[in-house]
Amino acid sequence: MQTRVFADKTALGEAAAADAAAALREAIARRGRANVVAATGASQFEFLDALVEAPGIDWPRTVFFHLDEYVALPATHPASFRRYLKARIVDRVHPGAFHFIEGDRPDPPAEARRVGGLIRMVEIDAAFVGIGENGHLAFNDPPADFETEEPYLVVRLDEACRRQQLGEGWFARLEDVPERAISMSIRQIMKARRIVCVVPDARKAKAVRECLAGEVSPGRPASILQRHPAVTVYLDRQSAALLERPQGES
Beta strands in 118-178 (DSSP E): 126-129, 152-156
CB-CB contact of 243 with 209 (8 Å): yes
CATH code reported for the domain at 2-236: 3.40.50.1360
pLDDT at position 250, please?
54
Burial of 234 (0-12, 13-18, 19+ CB in 10 A): buried
Per-residue pLDDT reduced to its tens digit, 40-49: 999 999 999 9
Task: Give average pLDDT by consecutive 10-residue segment, the chain, 250 residues.
Answer: 97 98 98 98 96 98 98 97 98 98 98 99 98 98 98 97 94 97 99 99 98 98 99 98 72
- What pLDDT was estimated at residue 246? 57
Global pTM reads: 0.95
pLDDT in tens, 127-172: 999 999 999 999 999 999 999 999 999 999 999 999 999 999 999 9
Contact 228, 193 (CB under 8 A): no
